[in-house]
């Protein structure tokens, strides 16, 4: 029974995962690991913290909303519904290539990983470019200084875009790293960034849903 007490597996059978220097080794060692990695847990902490921040923003939105008889206040334009919903759906679909990239990395398929990341990056960048253009465009019609509605609107939306932008930076960094091969570190990184994007996609749904509820 000493096997259990020492954690079930003897030292000689446990992988030294940071030894992996190329895609094949990384995939072989990753397959022998149990459960989510330390880096995935770390990204989960980031997701929890940022998620709670957005929770505070969304909670504040509803708090301010339920205080006000008119929402948006008279004179402030209602949010457009159709285009933002389409865009959010498009962004959410990038979770698929991101997850496929993570699975490909885990299997040691470097070119597949790079391709999926590139596809995701292209769609995400397109989304971001359009959203920046739209944000600036909306600022011509109303500003955060108008009233509490527009203050929380622009902050919530801006915070979401900022997180998308940071995700773009992460994807670019990943592609840069993967240009010279796949190590265990990079494999872990792809999985962690995929988690980041799943979280951002869910958060964007929640944020857009919240903001568009004013049009109801």
Partner 1 sequence: MATTVPPPAPAEEVVARLERMWEARPGVLGWVMTTDHKRIGLLFFWTTLALFGAGGVEALLIRTQLIRPDNHLVSPGTFDELFTVHGMTMIFFFIIPASTGVFGNYLLPLMIGARDMAFPRLNALSYWVFLGSAIFLYTSLFMGLAPNAGWFDYVPLANRRFDPGPPIDFYCLAVIFNSLSSTLTASNFIVTIFKMRAPGMSFNRMPLFCFAFLATSFGLLFALPPLSADTIFLFLDRNVGTHFFDVAHGGSTLLWQHLFWIFGHPEVYILIVPAFGIATSIIPAFTQRRLVAFPLVAIAELLVVFIGFGVWAHHMFAVGMPVITVVFFAAATAMVVIPSTVQVFAWCMTFVTGSPQFRTPLLFIAGFIFMFVAGGLTGMMFVAVPFDQQVTDTYFVVAHFHYIIFGAAVFPIFAGFYFWFPKVTGKLYFELPGQISFWVVFVGTNLLFFPMHVVGLEGMTRRVYTYSGGSGWGPENLAESIGGYLTGAGIVLLLGNLLVSWFRGPPAGPDPWRAPTLEWTIPSPPPEYNFAVIPKVSSAYAAWDLADREEDRRKLAEHALVLDQGHEQPVSSPIDGWFSEIVEMPHDSPWPIVLATALSLVFTTLVIHKYAVAGIMGVLVLLALLFWHQEEPQNA
Partner 2 sequence: MRPSIRLLAGFQWFGLLAGAAVWTAQHVVGYGIGQAQCVAGGMHWGIGNDVWQLTLLSCAGLVVVLAEVAAVVVYLATRGADYGSGPPGSGRFGGRTPYGRLNFFAMGAMLANALFLAIMLLDGLAASFDVLCRQS
Region label for 192, one of left (φ > 0), alpha (ψ between -120 and 50) or beta (otherwise): alpha
Residue 187: name the closest of 109, 94, 82, 89 by CA.
109
Rg (CA), the chain: 21
Q: Exposed, middle or buried by CB within 10 Å (0-12, 13-18, 19+), for 7?
A: exposed
Q: Quick check: 5 binds partner 2 (CB under 8 A)? A: yes
> Judged by CB, which is closer to partner 1: 127, or 154?
154
Q: List the one residue from 1, 13, 74, 179 that touches partner 2 (CB under 8 A).
A: 1
Dihedral over Cα of 192, 58, 159, 130: its sign: positive
**What CA–CA distance (Å, rounded) separates 53 from 106?**
31
Nearer to partner 2, 3 or 176 (CB): 3
Please pick, from the candidates 50, 57, 65, 165, the single residue that binds partner 2 as defined by CB under 8 A.
Answer: 65
Q: Does 140 bind partner 1 (CB under 8 A)?
A: no
Of 119 and 177, CB closest to partner 1: 177
151 touches, from partner 1, partner 2, none (C-beta below 5 to 8 Å by class)? partner 1
Cis peptide before 72 (omega within 30 of 0): yes
Structure tokens at 161: 């875009």
Of 53, 125, 61, nearest to 87 (Cα)?
125
In this structure, are residues 120 and 97 in contact, taking their beta carbons and an 8 Å threshold?
yes
Contact between 4 and partner 2 (CB under 8 A)?
A: yes
Which of partner 1, partner 2, none interacts with 78 (beta carbon under 5 to 8 A by kind)?
none
- Spell out, one character per residue from 66 to 95, where the chain touches partner 2: x when CB under 8 A holds, - when not: xxxxxx------------------------
As a whole number of angstroms, the longest Cα–Cα distance in the chain is: 74
- Considering only residues 127, 149, 196, 197, which one is a binding residue for partner 1 as defined by CB under 8 A? 149
Q: Could you tell me which stretch among 61-69, 77-85, 94-102, 192-200 binds partner 1 (CB under 8 A)?
A: 61-69
Give the interface with partner 1 as residue ranges (CB under 8 A): 4-9, 11-21, 25, 28-29, 32-35, 38, 41-42, 45-46, 48-50, 52-53, 55-57, 60, 63-64, 67-68, 73, 144-149, 151-152, 155, 169, 173, 183, 185-186
């Amino acid at each position: 029974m000493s096997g259990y007490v020492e954690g079930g597996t003897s030292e000689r059978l446990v992988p030294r995962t940071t030894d992996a220097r190329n895609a094949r080794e990384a995939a072989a060692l990753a397959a022998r690991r149990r459960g989510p990695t330390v880096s995935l847990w770390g990204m989960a902490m980031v997701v929890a913290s940022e998620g709670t921040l957005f929770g505070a923003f969304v909670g504040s939105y509803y708090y301010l909303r339920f205080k006000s008889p008119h929402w948006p206040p008279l004179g402030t334009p209602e949010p457009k519904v159709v285009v933002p919903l389409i865009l959010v759906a498009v962004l959410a679909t990038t979770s698929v290539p991101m997850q496929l990239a993570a699975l490909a990395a885990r299997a040691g398929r470097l070119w597949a990983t790079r391709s999926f990341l590139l596809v995701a990056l292209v769609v995400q960048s397109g989304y971001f470019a359009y959203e920046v253009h739209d944000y600036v465009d909306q600022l011509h019609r109303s500003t955060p200084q108008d009233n509490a509605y527009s203050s929380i609107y622009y902050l919530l939306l801006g915070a979401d875009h900022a997180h998308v932008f940071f995700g773009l930076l992460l994807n670019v960094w990943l592609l840069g790293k993967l240009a010279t091969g796949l190590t265990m570190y990079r494999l872990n990184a792809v999985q962690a960034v995929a988690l980041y994007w799943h979280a951002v996609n869910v958060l964007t749904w929640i944020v857009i849903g919240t903001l568009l509820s004013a049009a109801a």
